[in-house]
Amino acid sequence: MNPSQENHSQDSHSQDSHSQDSHSQDSHSQDNLAHGGAQKRQPIDAQPVLQLKGITKRFPGVVALNNVDFDVRPGEVHALLGENGAGKSTLMKVLAGKHQANEGKIILGGEEMAFENPKHAKRAGVVLIHQEQSLVSEMTVAENIFLGSLPKKPGNRVDWRKLREDTEKILATLKCGFQHDDLVGSLSIAKKQMVEIGRALVFTPRVVVFDEPTASLTDHEKPVLYDVIDSLCQQGVGIVYISHRMDEIFHLSHRISVLRDGEYTGTVNTADTNEDEVTRMMIGRSLELDHASKPGEFGETMLEVRNLSVKRVFEDVSFNVRKGEIVGMYGLVGAGRSEVAETIFGLRTPSAGEVVLDGEVVQFRSAHDAVVSGVALVPEDRKDQGLILGMNCRDNMTLASLSGVSSMGFMKSGEERAVYDKYHQAMKIKTPSWRQKVGNLSGGNQQKIVIGKWLNTHPKLLILDEPTRGIDVGSKSEIHTLVKDLAKSGYAVLVISSEMPEVLGLSNRIIAMYDGRVTAEFDGDSVSEDELVQAITGMAGSSPPKAQAG
């Protein structure tokens, strides 16, 4: 949905001297976020606080950045867009001192800088909040937030009282629901992301870079992040915002710059553009978001979940998926969706209920049992659960089907290569060679390898948990088309997603979950956004009639 098409009430926020006082900001209500819209912000007229001029960065055999220009004005949110692998993260790592540019200049506050390392950049006022979290699980929230800058007493002893007080102030600003002395390893992914954001507030930043900051945040936590960004803008801090979520980009940003294949494509004012124009800048062509229609013919029931429960996690969950059908499972993070999938896949033991696969009641004791029976699960966290980042593309592609490419304990390299070549071509995976380590690929190409790995098991039921999280629009469209084509070829597909457009665009039926329970079931072609929001937030007065499954 184009954010400019929505009308929302706005709060007037006072801004600093950089002519920001005329810009009204959006109220960050749950309804606002659910509907993904806001009036576009007007550009800020001020001299840049940061300029990157002619930045070129080469790696062995690859020119990652070629003569790239970029600037940020005080008090603005400048979005940096591009497909996975376009060079966005590399440019920001150059800015933050993690990489050294081969050519070009960094000018901060009118002074040319040469950051030797991230600590040097932070001291100068440039803070990068990574997409990949870099926290120490065995340390507390306070110790992680002030890591490298712990308050000290005379004698170089840690001032634990000041550490606690300073951390509590930051947590209060972020409205976090955890304590300063909680171990980071005990926190959810979303809460860990808030700890990362808290790190930036330790310094007196002049520029803060947010790299996919909402990838693991719940809808409840996103408006808190937006408020933090607004607060930083009011203080004259320049914000660089990297995201694949167009609704966020048009909600937050004043300007948008685009990289494509390591080169600068252009900059536009957010108020003067739209998603189609930005997409053309990113991929060099218009994007047909639904060039493959939903499947329309279904066979017999492949999966039936009957009153499935796991104590204190979810309760009394029932639904089914037919051959050739895509069933979407929609809800907020923490609603129990992933846990249901893990139980179907044998990773959790149910306390009640049963799973019926292809007409037979199954009791999987492990994920191996599920795979042998024809169930595949593409997990939510591809890097921790779906891939071995230090291994090459070929070896990752065959991890779930080793018996088919080995004999008497020895791998058949030719058959491994044949599997890789098949899915490399079919899924348009961009990589220089099968020898490339998966950890060096873009998010979109990593996800394609995870999906290919599971398709090679030839499953009866394919479960996709957040299949396009952190993926650019081009790769997202390709995966959506792939999922629809798989269903048309007879796969039973269960898609778990937190993105409403994705669920609506893919699903024949939608299962809504809230607080561990199924609250409603909808026809994917007739349900309204309001009905979905009510069902996943516990606001629905009564469940609507179930969509017909037969």
Q: What pLDDT, on the 0 to 100 scale, is given for residue 292?
A: 62
Residue 209 has pLDDT above 80, yes or no: yes
Strand spans (E) along 323-470: 326-330, 352-357, 360-362, 375-378, 406-407, 410-411, 461-465
Domain span(s) for CATH 3.40.50.300 in the chain: 77-89+116-283, 301-374+459-536
pLDDT digits (tens, 9 = 90+) for 422-480: 999 988 898 888 999 998 887 888 999 999 999 999 999 999 999 988 777 778 888 99
Report whether 441 contacts 391 (CB < 8 A).
Answer: no
Structure pTM? 0.64
pLDDT digits (tens, 9 = 90+) for 492-525: 999 999 888 889 999 999 999 999 999 999 998 8
Helical (H) or strand (E) element with 309: strand 301-310
Residue 29 has pLDDT above 70, yes or no: no
Question: What number is the average pLDDT over the span 98-115?
Answer: 94
Residue 439: both structure tokens together: 């950890």
Q: Tell me the percentage of the chain whose pLDDT exceeds 70.
A: 88
**Residue 222's Cα: distance from chain center in Å?**
12
The torsion angles phi and psi of 270, rounded to 5 degrees, stand at -60, -40
The position carrying tokens 């492990």 is: 366
Return the CATH fold of 301-374+459-536. Rossmann fold (3.40.50)
pLDDT digits (tens, 9 = 90+) for 377-398: 999 888 888 999 999 999 999 9
Residue 24 has pLDDT above 70, yes or no: no
Superfamily of domain 77-89+116-283: P-loop containing nucleotide triphosphate hydrolases (3.40.50.300)
Closest CA to 529 of 18, 15, 29, 35: 35
Question: What number is the average pLDDT over the span 117-129?
Answer: 90
Band (pLDDT 50/70/90 cuts) for residue 131 is low
Residue 69: both structure tokens together: 């220009």
The position carrying tokens 């806001």 is: 38
Dihedral angle over CA of 382, 384, 386, 389, nearest 10: 100
Report whether 346 contacts 364 (CB < 8 A).
Answer: yes
**Residue 30's Cα: distance from chain center in Å?**
19
Q: Give the relative orientation of helices 443-455 and 473-488 as an angle to the nearest 10 degrees.
A: 10
Mean pLDDT of the chain: 85
355 versus 10: the higher-pLDDT residue is 355
Sign for the CA dihedral angle at 120, 123, 124, 130 comes to positive
